[in-house]
Amino acid sequence: MYVVAWPPVAESLRLLGDSVGGKPVRHWLSMKTQPVRPLLRRWREEGRGVEVVSDFELAAALVEGFEPSRILVNGVAKQSWLSRSKASGLVVHFDSTLEIRELVELAKRLEWRTGLRLHVREEHDPDEPQFGTQFGLTPEDAKVGVDILRSHGVAPESIHFHLRSNVEHVESYRRALTEAVETCRQLGLEPSYLDCGGGLPLRYAEPDGQRHDELFVSDYARVLATSLELFPSLKELWLENGRFLTGRAGVLVVTVLDIKNRLDCRYLICDGGRTNHALISDWEAHRVLSIPKRMGRTCLTTVCGPNCMAYDRLIRMQLPEDIEVGDRLLWMDAGAYHLPWESRFSHGLANVVWYDNENGLQLARRADSFEQWWGLWR
């Protein structure tokens, strides 16, 4: 099962704060990061807004009672689905000139508050930095887009960029903000809202186990405060830090089903693993705890999932060698993207348990039955 908890989200919000450089900060919950219904409900009760990137996410936000003015629509190729929307007052960031051409009349009729996602030079493929990404408008495309919007009497209110996940240096934001200022100057834009996206790193998940969040956030806030002086028209700063907000708000709980002691290492075979539950386990370092707490001598151990793939493993690390069949292993910091990428590889989806201070533990989603797993097929 997964356990998803509210208190770590609240703590991350506290670290980020609600103002920078004298400007109020609005935190949008990135639904794609952790689309858990009780989390959305709690977020709405807090009076905050949600960021969506698909027709399913938009429908979910409306079903959960978010006012359209508190729904920020991002993502690519939105004209393929947002053209069917009847919601007035949405906040929409255009990603391409095609989107603008096909949606501008609808935006005017439904009184959407519009903005532009810029493609800045600091945005690149983290695996191959020599390449950019597929997102946003170059300055040349942004000029075309602004001309189209103005010709229809639609005035973009916001400017948006998102660098990538796990941005390593705050100077990347400074350079991106400087470029955004120059693009606004060239386009004659005076944005009321600046959206710096997300990307703050999960410092607490680093191998040394130390918490570096506060230091990075302090430097980040200082860079933002200085750069915001370049935007005299600005009313609010917007942030969409999905991983930073929800990463440590989830735990994957697996049970040890079998143990194999080999010359290379010890193998713990569990009822959950990378293939089903933790696709990005290959990207991050995670703590593993045991219940009951084991205190024996440690040995090199591979924690494996139940599926027929050699890479179906959560982690390879030193763990107590007195861990037994039937023990629970807690794979920490599993709140960001693990649930959205959960699969039904030969099994059903897992239980999801929600925790908040007021109501304690509650079953938020029941594990799939066989009928739900196989019944998808005709």
Q: Are 233 and 191 in contact (CB under 8 A)?
A: yes
Q: How does pLDDT run across 91-134, given as a tens digit for each residue? A: 999 999 999 999 999 999 999 999 999 999 999 998 899 999 99
Q: Above 80 in pLDDT, residue 208?
A: no
- CA 249 – CA 5 distance, rounded (Å): 5
- CA 304 – CA 266 distance, rounded (Å): 10
**Banded pLDDT at 45 (limits 50, 70, 90):** very high
- CA 372 – CA 364 distance, rounded (Å): 17
> If you average pLDDT over residues 5-11, what whole number do you get?
97
Q: Above 80 in pLDDT, residue 136?
A: yes
% of the chain with per-residue pLDDT over 70: 97
pLDDT at site 214: 82
pLDDT at site 168: 87
Q: Above 50 in pLDDT, residue 360?
A: yes
pTM: 0.95
**Banded pLDDT at 202 (limits 50, 70, 90):** confident
**Banded pLDDT at 209 (limits 50, 70, 90):** very low
Nearby residues of 93 by Cβ (< 8 Å), 6 or more positions away = 72, 73, 74, 114, 115, 116, 117, 158, 160, 195
Domains and their CATH numbers in the chain? 7-246 (3.20.20.10), 248-371 (2.40.37.10)
- CA 194 – CA 238 distance, rounded (Å): 6
Q: How does pLDDT run across 213-262, given as a tens digit for each residue? A: 788 899 999 999 999 999 999 999 999 999 999 999 999 999 999 999 99
Closest alpha carbon to 336 in 244, 208, 213: 244
Q: Above 90 in pLDDT, residue 71?
A: yes
Closest alpha carbon to 334 in 376, 287, 290: 287
